[in-house]
Amino acid sequence: MSSLSKTAMGKAFLAFCASLFLFAGHPAAQAQARALPDFTDLVVKADPAVVNIRTTAKAPARSSAGGQDPYELFRWFFGPDFVPPGRGGPPRQPGPDSDGGQEVPRGVGSGFFISADGYVLTNHHVVTGADDIYVTLTDRREFKAKVIGSDERTDVALIKIEAAGMTALKPGDPSQLRKGEWVMAIGSPFGLDSTVTAGIVSATGRDTGDYLPFIQTDVAVNPGNSGGPLLNMRGEVVGINSQIISRSGGFMGISLAIPIDEAMRVADQLRTSGRVIRGRIGVQIGEVSKEVADAIGLGRTAGASVGMVEPGSPAEKAGIEPGDVILKFGNRTIERSSDLPRTVGETKPGTKTTIQVWRRGGTRDLSITVGEMQPEKGAAARADEGSGGGAEKANALGLVVSDLSAAQRRDLRIRGGVQVDAAEGSAARAGLRQGDVLLALDNTEITGTAQFNGLVAKLDRNRAHVVLVRRDELTQWVPIRPAR
**CB proximity list for 38: less than 8 A, separation 6 or greater:** none
Contact 279, 348 (CB under 8 A): yes
DSSP string, 136-161: E-TTS-EEEEEEEEEETTTTEEEEE-
Whole-number Å distance between alpha carbons of 235 and 296: 49
- Nearest C-alpha neighbor of 156 from the set 229, 100, 92, 90: 229
Q: CA 41 from chain center: how many Å?
A: 30
Whole-number Å distance between alpha carbons of 368 and 311: 15
**CB proximity list for 136: less than 8 A, separation 6 or greater:** 51, 52, 53, 54, 142, 143, 193
Rg for the chain, CA atoms, rounded: 27
Amino acid at 452: F
List binding-site positions.
125, 155, 224-226
Render the burial of 102-124: b for 16+ CB within 10 Å, e for the rest: bbbbbbbbbbbbbeeebbbbbbb
- Nearest C-alpha neighbor of 216 from the set 190, 189, 187, 244: 244
Residue 438 has φ and ψ, to the nearest 5°, of -100, 125
Q: Backbone dihedral region of 203: left (phi > 0), alpha (psi from -120 to 50 degrees) or beta?
A: beta
Per DSSP bridges, beta strands 352-359 and 156-160 are: unpaired
Contact 409, 416 (CB under 8 A): yes
Contact 427, 465 (CB under 8 A): no
Whole-number Å distance between alpha carbons of 154 and 149: 12
Residue 397 has φ and ψ, to the nearest 5°, of -90, 0
- Nearest C-alpha neighbor of 211 from the set 292, 115, 280, 108: 280
Q: Backbone dihedral region of 36: left (phi > 0), alpha (psi from -120 to 50 degrees) or beta?
A: beta
Q: Is 261 exposed, middle or buried (0-12, 13-18, 19+ CB in 10 A)?
A: middle
Which positions are annotated as active-site residues? 125, 155, 226
**CB proximity list for 100: less than 8 A, separation 6 or greater:** 60, 61, 481
Contact 319, 289 (CB under 8 A): no
Give the containing element (helix H, strand E) for 441.
Answer: strand 437-441
Whole-number Å distance between alpha carbons of 399 and 453: 9
List binding-site positions for substrate.
125, 155, 224-226
